[in-house]
Chain A
Amino acid sequence: MPRSPRPKLAVWKFASCDGCQLSVLDLEDDLLALAGAVEIANFREASSAVVDGPYDLSLVEGSVTTEEDARRIREVRAESRILVTIGACATSGGIQALRNFADVKEFARVVYARPEYVRTLATSTAIREHVPVDLELRGCPVNKAQLLEVVSAYLGDRSPNLPTESVCASCKRRGTVCVMVARGTPCLGPVTQSGCGALCPAYDRGCYGCFGPAETPNLPSMVRRLDELGVDAAARVRLFRTFNAGDPLFREAANASAPPAEAR
């Protein structure tokens, strides 16, 4: 595809914590290169100066939690040539998808003094459930280097290099001692997509699954192993229902009754 010399980039926010947009600002030196390579036409977190669409590349953060969101994302789609969703909120509904398993009215009543002012949908959903998405960049938050890779691939008219293997691959390359094997700490690394560089195991924690399911996750085997490590059904729900609670595979793993021990 031929491109304009300086493609127009837009960054959009839906229901989210802004952490992924901050990852863009956090690119430091690379941010200057980015500003040189693309025209940052609409990025309210960074600047109130806005250039009208259409945009060549839109990065969308956040999930859809209101009627207004659902309308606005269709507008964004309409004025974006390429639409990339960034972060767990945009790709699976985020931590706020916990509402999908509960009564959102009840939440609103507990949290807000005047719940009648809160107009919200009963669910928090991924952007792709509302409009076609060209690429999903996972993570809570996204990885800066991967974000840069997406823009760089767009500029170079090539497909981005975004491995979909498990977190364990990064963990082993890093030389981290496996917390599950050496300590019995429950870790979602084997079923979670890499991208974070296996951060948590390097700090003595099991993986929280921020990047969502890996390419071919064997969740029944993972659930069985967690069960052996003493993770009961209630604890397993808490383990799988975090930033990617709304992901269909993680949802299923959270709900699964422990599978029977596999015959060897």
Chain B
Amino acid sequence: MSGPEVGSRHELERGAFPAFLASLERHGYSVVGPTVRDQAIVYGEIHRVEDLPIGWTDRPGAGSYRIERRADAALFGYNVGPHSWKRYLYPAHERLWTAERDASSFTVRPEPTDGPALALLGVRACELAAIQVQDRVFLGGAPDPGYRARRQRLLRIAVQCGQAAATCFCVSMGTGPGVAPAAADLALTELIRPERHYFLVEVGTPEGARVLEGVPLRPAAVETERAAEALVAATASSMGRTMDTSGIRDLLVLQPEHPRWEVVARRCLSCTNCTLACPTCFCSTTEEVPTLSGERVERWRRWDSCFTLGFTELHSGSARRSTASRYRQWLTHKLATWHDQFGSSGCVGCGRCITWCPVGIDLTEEVAAIRATGPPATPEAPR
């Protein structure tokens, strides 16, 4: 039996969701998705539909996050939690190679890049955009072997947002809330009516079609498609935050001495939370771990952050000693020079850095403050 056509749209009943999960496993995927743990909706292994955050929602704010019960039994009735998918493509710790001494020389063995095929279940539009941003980082130029291997066996099952959180601003960043056709392998929209709980399923790729083989589906009714569109439109009009991105590159790049950098530095803890929670931040450091005998050494890569002193450690010490210079580096790279380097913004508007900053520093507020008091931004579009 073959799956449905790429581009086709179907209805999947909530009651058939277990069959959908079973089909993913049958097609060789380990499923990771949202689950409630430690009073948060995190990403973890999903084996049964009950592993999903049924009937839960999240309330992220600046420096605060809580989960709450919903009135319904939605499977995906939240926005984004503390985790991002990057840990599955670009792990926080990764061994890159091992070297061993032999009689005359030494041998270097790169780390194998095999592993399970992962199906990411519940990828939001901003998160799809974040994966695309990291694709440009890790696959452009000299591709990263581990990332490439994990990315090639990845299945992305998007879920469109039926609500926006107080920290969401994907509309400002042009990344959501709607999932563009073919941006994911499958895109789901969860529809909850008093009498019916079901999903609109849009097939984005041949692999997305293949994993639907044997899953009970019905062709999508026009009303279902309309309901899904209306839901996404309502989400788009209820963004919790906005960011004016016009001329943002020059706005930030041309103002290294703006007094706001010192103001934010009085609050910033340079704790690295914002960068490590961000789904696009990609900086790492490498470290060698030798055995005491020196016969064997492993090279590891781990997430690093532009908020550490070691990040810019040179022969004469750290190049960015002040917190102001580190915050400025982060915000300017993220929103401005990222355009020069990768042809897009480094921010997808997910709001994680706002929520997981222990002191609630809000980049939309910082940009607005710089815009309010800085020289007028140049009129051209962001480069």
**Residues of A at under 8 Å CB distance from B?**
30, 33-34, 36-37, 148-149, 151-152, 155-156, 161, 163-166, 168-169, 172-178, 180-184, 187, 189-191, 204, 214-218, 220-222, 224-225, 262-264
The number of residues on chain B lying at the interface, defined by a beta carbon within 8 Å of a beta carbon of chain A, is: 47
Q: Which residues of the partner chain B approach A169 to less than 8 Å between Cβ atoms?
A: 271-272, 276, 303, 305, 308
Q: How far is the CA of A34 from the CA of B42 in the complex (A)?
A: 40
Minimal Cβ-Cβ distance residue in A for B302: A173
Docked complex Cα distance between A253 and B63 (Å): 21
> Which residues on the A side are within 8 Å of B254 (C-beta)?
none
The residues of A that contact B271 with a CB separation of less than 8 Å are 166, 168-169, 189-191, 214
Spot the interface stretch: B103-111, B191-199, B260-268, B374-382. Answer: B260-268
Contact of A221 among B269, B288, B292 (CB under 8 A): B269
Are A36 and B305 closer than 8 Å at their CB atoms? no
- Report the minimum CB–CB distance from A172 to chain B (whole Å): 4
Q: Which residues of A contact B287 (CB under 8 A)?
A: 161
Closest Cβ of chain A to B259, distance in Å, is 12
Docked complex Cα distance between A98 and B98 (Å): 46
* Chain A CB within 8 A of B51 CB: no
**Are A190 and B356 neighbours in the complex by a CB distance under 8 Å?**
no
B245-287 residues with Cβ-Cβ distance < 8 A to A are 263, 266-273, 276-277, 287
Interface centre among B63, B287, B289, B359 (most CB of A within 10 A): B359
Check if B310 sits within 8 Å of A183, measured CB to CB.
no
Contact, CB under 8 Å: A164 / B310: yes
Question: In the complex, A26→B134 CA distance in Å?
Answer: 41
Given A177-B39, A215-B309, A151-B92 contact (CB < 8 Å): no
Would you call B308 and A190 a contact (CB within 8 A)?
A: no
State the 10 A-B residue pairs at the shortest beta-carbon distance, nearest first. A172-B276, A173-B92, A190-B271, A190-B269, A168-B271, A177-B40, A177-B38, A165-B308, A33-B292, A169-B272
* Given the contacts A156-B294, A177-B82, A181-B65, A164 and B309 also touching, CB distance less than 8 Å: yes
Q: Beyond the given A215-B309, A264-B263, please list 8 additional residue pairs across the A-B interface where CB-CB is below 8 A.
A: A164-B309, A165-B308, A168-B273, A169-B308, A182-B40, A204-B38, A218-B269, A262-B267
Within 8 Å of chain A (Cβ to Cβ): is B365? yes
Question: Which one of A149, A165, A222 contacts B310 once the chains associate, using CB atoms below 8 Å?
Answer: A165
Q: How far is the CA of A62 from the CA of B220 in the complex (A)?
A: 72
Question: By the criterion CB–CB under 8 Å, are B310 and A221 in contact?
Answer: no
Kindly name the residue among A149, A182, A184, A224 whose own CB sees the greatest number of chain B CB atoms within 10 A: A182
Given contacts A30-B292, A173-B302, contact A181 B270 (CB under 8 A): no
Question: In angstroms, how far is the closest chain B Cβ from the Cβ of A27?
Answer: 10
Between A and B, 14 residue pairs with Cβ closer than 8 Å are: A33-B293, A37-B293, A166-B270, A168-B272, A169-B276, A172-B303, A178-B356, A182-B39, A182-B66, A184-B64, A218-B268, A218-B323, A225-B358, A262-B266
Which of B63, B92, B93, B323 sits near A216, CB closer than 8 Å? B323
Query: Is A220 in contact with B82, judged by CB distance below 8 angstroms?
Result: no
CA of A173 to CA of B308 in the docked complex: distance in angstroms?
A: 14
Enumerate chain B residues within 8 angstroms of A36, measured Cβ to Cβ.
292-293
Closest to A189 in B: B271
When the two chains form their complex, are residues B269 and A191 in contact, meaning their CB atoms are under 8 A apart?
yes
Interface check B315, CB cutoff 8 A: no
**Residues of B contacting A168 in the complex (Cβ-Cβ under 8 angstroms):** 269, 271-273, 276, 358
Query: In chain A, what residue has the closest Cβ to B63?
Result: A181
Q: CB distance B290 to A152 under 8 Å?
A: yes
Q: Which residues of A sit under 8 angstroms from B82, Cβ to Cβ? A: 175, 177-178, 181-182
Chain A: CB-nearest residue to B362: A264
Instruction: For the complex, give the distance between the alpha carbons of A191 and B323 in Å.
Output: 13
Q: Does B355 contact A (CB under 8 A)?
A: yes
Instruction: Tell me, in angstroms, the Cα distance from A263 to B259 when the chains sit together.
Output: 13
- CA A264 – CA B38 in complex, angstroms? 32
Nearest CB on B from A164, distance (A) = 7
Of B269, B277, B290, the contact of A166 (CB 8 Å cutoff): B269
B92, A177: Cβ atoms under 8 Å? no
On chain A, the residues within 8 Å of B355 by CB distance are: 181
Q: Mark B154-177, 1 if CB is under 8 A from A, else 0.
A: 000000000000000000000000
**Residue contact A221 to B38, C-beta cutoff 8 Å:** no
Q: Complex Cα distance A151/B289, Å? A: 12
Contact B273 A225 (CB under 8 A): no
B362 smallest CB distance to A (angstroms): 9
Contacts known (A164-B310, A165-B272, A169-B308); A190 close to B83, Cβ less than 8 A: no
